Every structure is written in structure tokens, then in C-alpha cells.
Amino acid sequence: MPKDLACSVDAADGPFGHRLRAFRSQGSMTSRPEFDEETRKFRPTKAIHGSDPPTRARQGRSLRYRQARIIVLLFGGYAACYFCRADLSVATPLLVEELGQRGVSHADAIVRIGAITSFGVLAYALGKLFLGGLGDFWGGRVNFLIGLGGATVFTLLFASGAALPLFTFAWLGNRLTQSIAWAGLIKVSSKWFDFSSYGTIIGILSLSYLIGDALARQCMGVMIQHGFGWRALFYFAAAVAGLMLVANVLLLRESRTQEGYDEAKPNPLNLFAANESRPVNVAALLRPLLRSRAFVLVCVLSLGCTIIRETFNTWTPVYLRDYLGYSMSNSAGMSAIFPAVGAVSVLASGWLSDRLGVNGRSLILFVGLAATVAALLALMSMRSSSTGPLLPLVAIGAIAFFLLGPYSYLGGAFALDFGGKQAGAVSSGIIDGVGYLGGVLAGDSVARVSVAFGWQGVFLALAAISALAALGAGFLYALNARAAATGHHLP
């Protein structure tokens, strides 16, 4: 168990202290059947604690093997989803060129593709808000498979289209179905791993969208360099997602209880710790979350961080192409610097937060967002005629390093800390959904700002957003400190 949780519970005999003591004092497990909430059937319990040492060791190795398989399936599946999201960003210069051949001006083409992007992000946000929580009722596995299946089907539909209305419909369907995949991943994780490993596991799984994004951009950049058109990029992305869909259909299991193991232990300080049964209705899930000031603040932080993240995810290839003069293939490949450096940031932030203790995550959020402000202002000051092509890439990498590691806490480890096993999916869905409502601005609005005020105007606006988010992270730090002093969950 992480030191921060141990200290916060041992410090005071709050209403949740007895739960943690119960976890510690658990004796040997009996072999009597237990009722499984997932399958609604009785199951035998594996006697891991009460058996002889060699048997316990074999059972522990068996569980670790199955947990490793779950990580691989979830990681690969969610990384594949990002192949079906990076394709539009990478293909945008090619689509702009094709629209130009049809008589559409460069500025109009940028705005139209920006509108498609914004509609997609809006569908993604609404799906997270209103559909992601379904995983708390029908299971996270179903959510995850729908996300992968929708990404495959709608990406193929986009590739077969030839007009903007069909492009818009396909992109909306793609983002809407993908919107429930992360909540499904969080829900499955809560059923396979104890709360003491949430930080490590969610940190690893958070790398999936960064590595998937970076790998997709690199592969697609090579394809463009070899003369492939934008349709080939979409067919390639659909093939990757389809392959992982088949693997997850065959091998992914909802919970470790389905393999005969004891249930995973949730954080005893989560907002639903007093009731461990399956939620009876949506109101029972939403009420404790929406009454928590800390939860609402995390949602606001997600809003600000997602605007910045989605702007760079969407427009980096166009910025490199139009402002710095990179070729189409090089702009696609070099745009991978943002998710690639972000992967390093996630690992570094996870390692550091474990060592900073109870307030580590909120402190890293504050410092990271403040540093992001400085990096954005530095990027704003760079002129294409005087700085050369490398310094802007260094600045983009710095923004990724300061932003993406702290960002990964919001819809992952924080969501599980608030929701536990009962509301992990809806907690993650709300946090990410609010964030992507802000991410809508990263499409159409950023396109219009870049046309009207140039990229300097875009980076100045993002710096202001990051500064406001840093102030919010400072307040979250204060709430964390107060909760740690009293030994209770966040207010």
C-alpha cells in the first residue's frame, strides 16, 4: 500500500479506518462458495492465503500472469484506438491539398476540417459524460469492445467516403464509440488490481494512448513518404484496430473473480467505500461525486489540460508544414514528438508522485502547469524566419513533458480514487467528458484563431488557459493537505 494512504488512515480513526484494518487483518480464505456480483453466481474461492507456501506461490504467479495478460490486451487495444484518431491529424495536409484541387481555398479547407474535428471532440465529450458510466452497469469489457469495434468500422467508412458530409458522419461515429473505451479500461482495471497498485497500473496504461499516437504518426509518415495517399492511412489504422478487437474479444475477461480469484480491493477512502454493492441507479453514482469539491475541481483541471493537449494532437502537423516549412511526410513523423515525450513524462510523473507522498499528484499538477505556461510563451516568441526548424520542436517537447504526465492522473488514478470499484467508470467518464467539452475548442476555434491571429495568437491563448489551470491545481493541493491532516477522503 502506498505510504500516503497508510499515513492518512493511521493518523486518525475516521469512519473509513476500520475498512483498512479489516484488509490488514484478513485471515486465511475459506473454500466455501462466494457470491460473484459480476456473474450473479456462486463461485469457489482459491485458498491463496490459507494454503501451504508452495501453493500460495503458484497461485500468486498464476494471478500475476493473468494480470499481465490483461495489461497487454488493454494497452494494445487502447493504443490501436489512437491509430484511428491520429489518422485525421496526419492526413489533414493531404486532405487540404485534395480539397484545393476541388476549388476550396487553403483557409476554408483548414476551417472545414477544424469543424469536423470539433464535432468529433464534442461527440467524444458527450459520449464520455452520458455513455461512459454504462460500464458500471454492464461491465467495462463491453465498453472497451464497443470502442474498438466502432473505431474499426467508422474508420473504414471514412476511408470509403469522398465528400465532407460523409467524412463528418464517419468521424462523429468514430469518436462517439471510442468515447466509452477508456472508462471501460478503468473499470476492468479496478476489477483486476488492488488499490495499492492503481498508480503504477494506470500509469502503464496511460502510456498506451501516447505510444499508440506516436507510433501511428511515425508509421503514417513513412507511408506518406513512400507515396501512399490519405485513404491508405485510414485503411491501415482500421486494420490495426480490427486486429486488437479480435484479440480482446477472445482473451479479455471482465474481472479476476471470473478466473476464480478473490475480488480486487478498492481504495478504502473512496467516496463509495460505505457501500460496496452494485449501484442501484445513476443517481446513486452521481450524487457523491458531484457533491465533492475536489472532484469538481479535477473536472475543471481536465477541461484546461485537454484544450492544450488536443490542440497539439490535432494541429502540430499543420503548424510544422505551414509555419516551419516541413514536408508532408516529415511534418507527420515529427509530430510524434508530442506523444513520445509525453510517454516519458507519464513515467517520470508516476515515479515522482510515489515519492512525494499524499500530496504528490496535486503538487506535480501545479508545477507542471506553471512550467507549461513558460514553454508556451517561449514557443509563441519563436519566429519561423529566425529560429530555424529545431527550436520549436524543442519547445513542443517541453510542453508535452510538463503537461502530459500530470494530465494522465486526471481521468485515471484520480478517477479510481474517487469512484473505487462502484463508480470508477462514471468517475472517469465525467472527468474526461468535461475535459473534452473544452477540447471542442481545439478544432474549429483554434483553426479560426490561427487564420485570424497566426500561431502566436494560439499559443498565447493556451498559455492563459494553462496559467488558470495552475491556480486550480494549487487549490487542489490545499484540499489534499487538509484531507491528509484529518485522515478523511477529499471533501
The angle that helices 293-322 and 413-439 make with each other, rounded to 10 degrees, is 50
Q: What gap in Å lies between CA 46 and CA 174, rounded to an integer?
A: 41
Mean confidence (pLDDT) of the chain: 79
Cell representation of residue 278: 452494485
Residue type, 120: G
Q: Of 47-56, 179-188, 279-288, where does mean pLDDT reach its minimum?
A: 47-56
Q: What is the pLDDT of residues 196-235, one digit of tens each?
A: 677 678 778 888 988 898 899 989 989 998 889 999 999 9
Q: What is the pLDDT of residues 157-174, one digit of tens each?
A: 999 887 888 999 999 999
Other CB atoms within 10 Å distance of the CB of residue 84: 32
Using CA atoms of 382, 385, 387, 393 in order, give the dihedral in degrees to the nearest 10.
70
Q: What is the DSSP string of 447-458?
A: HHHHHHHHHHHH
The pLDDT score that the predictor gives to residue 172 is 94
Are the C-beta atoms of residues 108 and 393 closer than 8 Å to each other? Answer: no
- Cα–Cα distance list, 309 to 54, 114, 201, 306 (Å): 49, 15, 22, 5
The pLDDT score that the predictor gives to residue 48 is 44
Length of the chain: 491
- Radius of gyration over alpha carbons of the chain, in Å? 23
Q: What gap in Å lies between CA 51 and CA 182, rounded to an integer?
A: 37
The pLDDT score that the predictor gives to residue 156 is 96
Q: Which residue has the cell 479560426?
A: 448
Is pLDDT of 248 > 90?
A: yes
User: For every residue of 33-100, which 3-state class applies, written as one string?
Assistant: CEEECCCCEEECCCCCCCCCHHHHHHHHHHHHHHHHHHHHHHHHHHHHHHHHHHHHHHHHHHHHHHHH
Eight-class DSSP state of 196: G
Cell representation of residue 193: 488490481
- Cα–Cα distance list, 143 to 131, 208, 253, 259, 476 (Å): 9, 17, 12, 20, 30
The pLDDT score that the predictor gives to residue 434 is 85
CA 229 to chain centre: 29
Q: What gap in Å lies between CA 457 and CA 277, rounded to an integer?
A: 51
Contact partners, residue 461, CB within 8 Å, separation at least 6: 449
Confidence label for 19 from pLDDT (cuts 50, 70 and 90): very low
Is pLDDT of 459 > 90?
A: yes
Q: Is the Cα torsion angle 9, 487, 291, 122 positive or negative in sign? A: negative
Q: What is the pLDDT of residues 404-448, one digit of tens each?
A: 988 887 766 677 667 666 666 777 788 888 888 887 778 778 888
Highest mean pLDDT among 186-190, 257-261, 355-359, 399-403: 399-403
Q: What is the pLDDT of residues 360-387, one digit of tens each?
A: 778 889 999 999 999 999 998 887 656 6
Q: What global pTM score does this model have?
A: 0.70
Q: What gap in Å lies between CA 77 and CA 135, rounded to an integer?
A: 17
List the end-to-end C-alpha distance of the chain, in Å, as a whole number. 22
H helical segments located in 179-252: 181-192, 198-225, 230-251
Q: What gap in Å lies between CA 251 and CA 80, rounded to an integer?
A: 16
